[in-house]
Structure 1
Amino acid sequence: MTAPNVLLTGLMYGESPRWHDGRLWVANWGTGQILTVGLDGASEVVAEIPTTIPYSFDWLPDGRMLVVSGQEALVLRREPDGSLVTHADLRALGEVFNEIVVDARGNAYVNGSIVALVTPDGRAQEVAGDIAFGNGMAVTEDGSTLIVAESHGRRLTAFDIAEDGGLAGRRVWAEVDGPPDGVCLDAEGALWYADVPNQRCVRVREGGEVLRMIDLDRGCFACVLGGPDGRTLFMTTAEWRGMDRLHEPHRTGQVVVAEVSVAHAGRP
């Protein structure tokens, strides 16, 4: 594994990183923007989201982007012309939603204090409750398992995905010693998770064994594997000053990269 290097600076809080169409995509919380970033560090604003923190995104199989408008409890859909329309209304299920992951069938899982399933036609239902501050989520390569980072529970929780998209077989995938944030899976079945207060990104296997740890100089909010061979680990980092100062216009956010030995798998 190579030492981490800074790819991009000047973000507020980078979140929901995704490798898509040969580029890194990042939600720049505090600005309402979604950016793309090349491997040379060049960035471009590709979408403006009319919401405040939080918002996150992923793609339907047909290429249209879904965006969680967190404070409004809506899932928006970005049409080919760039317009945003409501894909699903989650207000009957909860007040605030956070992260999203879309599986190969177009089912979207959206979390907060619950996990909601949004089917491709926009129907929404609760499929898991009592989530202790849901953050990053990942779907395994075979589409059989959803893993949810429960930040306040300091655990990664797994569910079996049923044919209809429902969740069953809830179990602790791993107990961890920090609040897990954004996550991604690799081809050996291990999972990387971001850790804001401990300023690190950690690779663990099911059961909780720590396989690798990358120490950083500021909080790590999310991570994703990507790049041409899937072995570039992109980490979004920023100085964390607490929830009461979340909306202050500090620009300490960065995208940090490291080359790792095991490639991406699953979704996102």
Structure 2
Amino acid sequence: MIAARTIASGFAYPEGPRWHDGQLWVADQHDETVHILAADGLRVDSFHVAGGPSGMGWLPDGDLLVVSMEGHRLLRGDRAGLAPYCELGDIHHHLTNEMVVDSAGRAYVGNIGFDFEAGDPVTPTMLVMVDTAGAPRIVAEDLVCPNGTVITPDGKTLIIAESLANRLTAFDITGDGSLSNRRVFAQLPGHIPDGICLDAEGCVWAASPFTNSVVRTHEGGQITDTVTIDGAGAFACMLGGVDGRDLYVCVANPSMRPDTLTMRGGRIDVARVSVPAATGARP
């Protein structure tokens, strides 16, 4: 077991962490704010995202893409201003969620697929690829709550957490961005994998919110390391820091608005791990 320590707090519901240009970017979904933090947790900047931010990624020209969850769209720009990039409301009928952007600038965007806040039954949904012209296309279907997503450094494999199926699923990425050869990367009984990240040995760190932990799994499902989180759920994770061995964890109580906005119990924890981030992996 690896212990984590808190380096930043006072968030409502932090999610979707990204390590970019030596800084940690965090989407506070319920507060409609993206925060940019230094490696030690010091807040550097913040900006508003209408509809609540989730997945983030960067285009080859350096522009940010960020999901607006309730707006069912992607926004493009920088911290000084965002503009609509792709409308997804005709495809996503419930919350747009996580996203990864590949080196060519194609964005793979998931959605919850059902109204979990209303207690609707679990309903499989799709993954959308938004091409470099900003046009959406469905590239995978029958995913059970698609969530955290990574692309391997060679750009050939996409791995996505199917949270409510207790598994990580892999696809081959074809030349036009389509997905093929669907397979189970790891079945994780007892865990509901949420946000994920990839290390240099090809293992996936997966946040497991209802076990208050983050687990490191090999392809095939062997768990070799566990980071324990004190007193709250781990909802997403990202490797970063100077040497890529700081595992940043988004921590929150599994509550709904407005409780999270009142409680401000969300925080960022960090743990030191032995294997660094995969160089060139996305996100």
- Tell me the CA shift for residue 34 of structure 1: 0.5
Q: Aligned-pair RMSD on alpha carbons?
A: 1.7
Compute the displacement of 1:246 (Å): 6.0
Alignment partner, residue 226 of structure 2: 213
**Other-structure match for 1:77:** 76
After superposition, give the CA deviation of every residue in 1:41-82 in whole Å (9 maximum; x if it has no partner): 211333210114x63211112111101112221111015x82
- Please give the TM-score of this superposition, normalised by the length of structure 1: 0.94
The answer to which of 246-255 and 55-64 deviates more is 246-255
1:235 aligns with one of 249, 268, 273: 249
**Which residue of the partner structure matches residue 187 of structure 1?**
200
**Map of 1:35 onto structure 2:** 35
Deviation at 1:245, TM superposition (A): 6.3
- After TM superposition, the score normalised by the length of structure 2 is 0.89
Aligned pairs for 1:56-67 (under 5 A) are: 56-67=55-66
- Which string of whole-angstrom CA distances, capped at 9 and with x for unpartnered residues, describes residues 217-239 of structure 1? 21001000011111110001012
Q: Find the aligned partners of 1:244 and 1:252 in 2 and give their Cα distance.
A: 12
Q: CA deviation at 1:249?
A: 2.2
Name the % identity: 42
Evaluate the alpha carbon distance shift between residue 32 and residue 248 of structure 1 in structure 2; reply closer, same or farther with a 3 A threshold. closer
Distance in 2 separating the partners of 1:3 and 1:72: 37
Paired residues of 1:30 and 1:249 also in contact (CA < 8 A): no
> Secondary structure, in 3 states, of the residue corresponding to 2:262?
coil
Letter in 1 for 2:216: R
Which residue does the alignment assign to 1:155? 167
Aligned counterpart in structure 1 of residue 182 of structure 2, from 170, 175, 180: 170
Q: Which residue of 1 aligns with 2:114?
A: none
- Supply the distance in 1 between the matched residues of 2:131 and 2:178 (Cα, whole angstroms): 10
C-alpha distance in 1, partners of 2:260/2:271?
Answer: 29
State the distance in 1 between where 2:105 and 2:239 align: 21
1:1-150 equivalent positions in 2, closer than 5 A: 3-52=3-52, 55-79=54-78, 82-95=80-93, 96-112=95-111, 113-150=125-162
Aligned residue number for residue 268 of structure 2: 255
- Structure 2: which 5+ runs fail to align? 112-124
CA contact (8 A) 1:7 1:39 kept: no
* Residue in structure 1 matched with residue 240 of structure 2 by the alignment: 226
Tell me the CA shift for residue 117 of structure 1: 0.3
Distance 1:192 1:246, change over 3 A: farther
Cα 1:77/1:156, change in 2 over 3 Å: same
Change (3 A) 1:89 1:157: same
Partners of 2:20 and 2:81 in 1: CA distance: 19
